[in-house]
Amino acid sequence: MPKNLGLTPPMGWNSWNTFTDKISEGLIKESADAMVETGLKDCGYEYIVIDDCWSKRQRDENGVLVADPEKFPNGMKAVADYVHSKGLKFGMYSCAGTHTCAGYPASFEHEFVDAKTFADWGVDFLKYDYCYKPDGMPGELLYKRMAMALRNCGRDILFSACNWGADGVHNWIRESGAQMFRSTGDIQDTWNSISNLAKSQFGKQSQQGVYCWNDIDMLVVGMHGGSNSSWIADGMGCTDIEYKTHFSMWAIMNSPLMIGCDIRNMTDATKNILMNKDIIAINQDPEGRGAYVLNSNGWAGVNVKILVKVLENGDYAICMVNFGDHRGMGTVCFWDMGLPTASGYGFEMYDCWEHKNEGKFAERYSCDIESHDCKVLRAKLVKM
């Protein structure tokens, strides 16, 4: 049975957002190299995950999945061994339906043989999609079935359930045995997509935590429209400010941090976002508390939303996001966090993007935030 998988939100890289079906053994090896050489591994990123389109179109005569020999001429065990040699973990993809979203063999009615195959190959992570599920077959049962197969396959494999938030997944997925679950539809490399997905999870943060994390989908940080899919790219992508805000929201809401850009060719700005250890520390806080929405803004901050997360050592993470198209004012009223002025306490604020202390504040904290930008603070309770 898996031991201690999902203690904190998983961190890694997935091939789909940038490369879709254009994957190969060389790409995966180069991405593993880049994970180490860029310093991403040292920041906590550990999974290299191959998404859809890795297999042949048919199983073999024994009903076993077979890697596409043109894309992966040495087979998946060799790829896994290479990833492991870098001190990283190896992830793959299947689907709860009769075939995958791209039309390849999936694991419906093959759950136990596929789980054993993945274990034999050295897989550490399975993303399990939801396309082509037979009508009348409860998705809840299919995820429980694969969870059972993985937990008894002889290897610890983290189970990433990807049913797009369908079928009231928040209400049953933790009980199924999955370590993370997709709570949204697919992300696009646009601000509208990022903001809509984030807002869709406001108020649902209590239904996730240690051993079962709410996955808001893979990161598009640093893609800048660089995808093989015109649907994912949908233009030139986002600004670095929008990517910064995207990363901040995913971090404070405990989403797994699965990079989707080409990590072999990151800009300095992309590296600075993805490797911000102050933000990563908020995401990886051991207690895994959900973030709540603080509704204390006046008219000037109508487009500024505030997320607050309780941290292990008594600190609070505060993420102020301007969803509007113009500068807005964000105000955190400490009363609404449970701190009355009469207590004689306030907060000492540390800016997690500027990496500096801002001083001590009583009663409230207020600042202007540019359009689509954010402010992330680590607040420490202090005597005033």
Active site residues: 129, 186
| CA 241 – CA 338 distance, rounded (Å) | 31
| CA 39 – CA 313 distance, rounded (Å) | 27
Beta bridge partner(s), residue 347? 361, 381
221 within 8 A of 247, measured Cβ to Cβ? yes
Long-range contacts of 136-142 (CB under 8 A, 24+ apart): 137/108, 138/167, 139/96, 139/163, 139/166, 139/167, 139/169, 140/167, 140/172, 140/176, 142/96, 142/108
Smallest Cα–Cα separation from 374: which of 317, 309, 323, 302? 323
| CA 36 – CA 88 distance, rounded (Å) | 9
Smallest Cα–Cα separation from 266: which of 110, 42, 37? 37
Helix orientation angle between 111-121 and 139-151, rounded to the nearest 10 degrees: 40
109 within 8 A of 146, measured Cβ to Cβ? no
| Residue 205 DSSP symbol | G
